[in-house]
Amino acid sequence: MTRFGFALIATLATATAAHAAGWETVHKYVKPSGTCAGQEVLASWYSLPGRRTANGEMFDANGNTAAARTWPLGTVMTVTNPKNGRSLTVRINDRGPYGIAWQKGARLDLARGAARRLGMPASQYVCINGASAAATPVRYSAGERAYGAVTAPRVTPRKLHAHPADF
């Protein structure tokens, strides 16, 4: 095998190992850039087609939307990828991230389309700019719904069984 072949195999093995462990090794391979003028947060992306978001609208995987637990629903912010300088404006319309992503520090879940437009193939740190990013974190009192200031539309429940009069 040639030197090129060994170099190619070594590179592929390293790149695969970096992404194989997922969230367990995110801080080993993903570091803040330190170049953000605003706040820098760890972001991931998600896609849940056919589901409703926390504010009641249908999830659009290609939209410029995001999920966050630390900003109120309806917050509009500019997100910039510090690696390539691409930026776009996203609106918080869902709650998340949850589970291991939250435990490992992810604070923003971008819709798949927004992440693609930012040139973000995997989880990474992004810059949050704009006055709306400085909003105070959401705190809910007992019994209050986690919809923030946005009221979810009333959804009519579907019938789960047929009644003889329906035929």
pLDDT one-digit tens code per residue, 106-165: 999 999 999 999 999 999 999 998 745 444 444 444 443 443 333 344 444 554 555 555
Q: Is residue 125 a part of any domain in this protein?
A: yes
Q: Is residue 153 a part of any domain in this protein?
A: no
Q: Is residue 11 a part of any domain in this protein?
A: no
Q: Provide the residue range defining the domain that includes 80.
A: 36-131
Please count the other Cβ atoms lying within 10 Å of the Cβ belonging to residue 153.
9
Q: Is residue 18 a part of any domain in this protein?
A: no
Task: Tally the domains of the chain.
Answer: 1
pLDDT tens for 47-95 read: 988 899 999 999 999 999 999 999 999 999 999 999 999 999 999 999 9
Give the separation between CA 92 and CA 110, rounded to whole angstroms. Answer: 9
Give the separation between CA 127 and CA 124, rounded to whole angstroms. Answer: 10
Q: Is residue 13 a part of any domain in this protein?
A: no
Q: Distance between the two ends of the chain, CA-based, in angstroms?
A: 73
Q: Is residue 156 a part of any domain in this protein?
A: no
Both structure tokens of 158: 């579907």
Give the separation between CA 87 and CA 90, rounded to whole angstroms. Answer: 10
Give the separation between CA 138 and CA 100, rounded to whole angstroms. Answer: 21
Give the separation between CA 55 and CA 138, rounded to whole angstroms. Answer: 14
Closest CA to 124 of 61, 62, 40, 47: 40
Q: Is residue 91 a part of any domain in this protein?
A: yes
Residues 25, 15 contacting (CB under 8 angstroms): no
Higher pLDDT, 104 or 158: 104
